[in-house]
Structure 1
Amino acid sequence: MTGRDAERSGAGPINGVEHVLDVRKLSKVYGAGETAVHALRDVDLTVRRGEYVAVIGQSGSGKSTLLNMLGCLDAPTSGRYLLEGLDVAYLDERQQAVLRNRQIGFVFQAFNLIPRTTALANVELPLVYAGVGRRVRRDRAMAALALVGLQGREDHRPNQLSGGQQQRVAVARALVTGPALLLADEPTGNLDSRSTADALALFDRLHASGRTIVLITHDDEVAARAERVVVVSDGRLSETARR
């Protein structure tokens, strides 16, 4: 089914309210019978355009499973997940890969940069996969690096950058396609206190500019920077704060 067909299936914004994310009764079960593990249980979550939401939970709480669902990296056992009003269940693997590349910007704890490649080439990578021409992708990558404050570092390889700078490259790469959603998985987990403060200040600026951010963390202080905090415990979600 195409994206247009999925939109016709009733996967549009609910009650005229525009949501970037709309998760309904999402569940994930691994295994079967007595050994079944219920990683997510009837999760409901909506995120409006421009919101900054932190999802917090301890190891084993289900937050990593939720991240995989939101990033279209795994399929739920039941329930629905709408991204930009589109029900991803109607997309085949190729269409989901295109959706991930164009609509979701990923920022990981481990940065996931290619070691022997420059900062510029790392940021260009999603545009290479999208088939964007060389000159255009270079211009967009340069702009993304400037946005995160890395002018003059375009030709540096990851081992020539600090941890905080590497994370900024990762954020630039996540932003270069102009995604609907910035999905950050423990983005400060490998940073020292100063780099953590810099990274969180960058997320604050991105939020102020209208970016939609969902940040996964186990750290209360990191979560407190978001305007909404959602707690995952035993596979269930509960909202605890709205700033």
Structure 2
Amino acid sequence: MIELDAVTKVYQAGKVAVRALDSVDLSIDEGDLVAIMGPSGSGKSTMMNILGCLDVPTTGHYRLGGTDVVGMRENALADLRNRRIGFVFQSFNLIARTSAARNVELPLVYAGVGRRERRDRAQQALARVGLDGRGGSMPNELSGGQQQRVAIARALVTRPAMILADEPTGNLDTVSTNEVMQLLVELNDAGRTVVLITHEDEVAAFARRVVRLRDGRIVSDLRQKPLPHGAPAPTAGGTP
């Protein structure tokens, strides 16, 4: 589903060329649950931007579902993002004075979906994340965990092939972290491809595969046995 072939990304910082990614090769199969990890400056944010079609490689190729994004025009990239990728961000990115249901509908508005279908699909997505009946709530009426569930519902409403979650539990307490990760695991178990960008080992413990970056290169790529379904997230100091 995802193929990076010798992907390099170079940013110009004044007179200095910063090589954020350096000849990265990576393949992710449909239906996998992968955590991409690394310290600050490792390249994981750049990796997220390229996987999410928010940026394109300087050199190399990125194929998403067989489509090479290199050379695509911005409107084509935007269409590909909207159809194939659901984004979940650390800061939720909900519109403050807009109801949960309307927040979930937004990608469908951009896709030109009619009002009735938008409403029905938003209600279905909210029910899928355990927020049936909360569509009229404003973000400030919801807990952090509930706001992230709204964000996940918004990511699901376009029925994307992949969910790309950037530090999805960074603003959540331990209980909410566990609830959100269990939800992402459930979505993966149902066949959705999930890619996590994280620096937290507790979050990566839920993944089937962990890819570690350092200085723009992949330094390890390991399969692991994920936490059993329903198991709580381990604490920072290890398994509780």
Structure 1 length-normalised TM:
0.90
State the shift of 1:27 in Å. 0.6
Q: Distance in 1 between matches of 2:185 and 2:108?
A: 25
Q: Which one of the candidate residues 179, 187, 190 is aligned to 1:206? A: 187
Counterpart of 2:224 in structure 1 is: 242
Q: Using the alignment, how far apart are the partners of 1:90 and 1:188 within structure 2?
A: 34
Question: Structure 2: 5+ residue runs without aligned partners?
Answer: 226-240
1:180 corresponds to which letter in structure 2? A
Aligned to 1:111: 92
SS of the aligned residue for 1:95 comes to helix
Counterpart in the other structure of 1:169 = 150
- For residues 200 and 13 of structure 2, what CA distance do their matches in structure 1 show? 32
CA separation of 1:132 and 1:34: change in aligned 2, threshold 3 A: closer
More helix by share: 1
2:124 aligned residue: 143
Could you say which residue in structure 2 is the equivalent of 1:16?
none
Name the count of aligned residue pairs: 224
Q: Residue in 1 aligned with 2:137?
A: 156
Q: Which amino acid aligns with 1:68?
A: N
Q: CA RMSD of the aligned region, Å?
A: 1.2
Give the alignment partner of residue 171 of structure 2, picking from 190, 200, 207.
Answer: 190
Give % identity: 62
- Quick check: 2:56–2:69 contact (8 Å CA) kept in 1? no
| 2:230 paired residue number | none
SS at match of 2:70: helix
In the alignment, the residues of structure 2 paired with residue 191 and residue 32 of structure 1 have an alpha-carbon distance, to the nearest angstrom, of: 33
- The answer to whether the 8 Å contact 2:144/2:171 transfers is yes
Counterpart CA distance in 2 for 1:147 and 1:46 is 29
**1:126-141 mapped onto 2 (5 Å cutoff):** 126-141=107-122
Structure 1 consecutive aligned stretches of length 4 or more whose deviation exceeds 6 Å: none
Compared CA separation, residues 135 and 26, structure 1 to 2 (3 A): same
- Residue aligning to 2:238: none
Corresponding residue number in structure 1 for 2:234: none
Q: What's the CA shift string for 1:82-128, capped at 9, x where partnerless?
A: 00100011421101011111111000000000000000000000000
Does the CA-based 8 Å contact 2:90-2:169 persist in structure 1? yes
Deviation at 1:241, TM superposition (A): 3.1
Using the alignment, how far apart are the partners of 2:223 and 2:208 within structure 1? 8
**TM-score relative to the length of structure 2:** 0.91
What per-residue deviation string (whole Å, max 9, x for no partner) do you get for residues 63-91 of structure 1? 00100011111121101000010001142
1:199 is paired with a residue whose SS is helix
Match of 2:236 in 1: none
Residue identity in the other structure for 1:193: T
Residue number in structure 2 paired with 1:3: none
> Where in structure 1 are there 5+ consecutive unaligned residues?
1-19
Question: Structure 2: which amino acid aligns with 1:218?
Answer: H
* Alignment-derived partner of residue 20 in structure 2: 39
Q: Which amino acid aligns with 1:111?
A: F
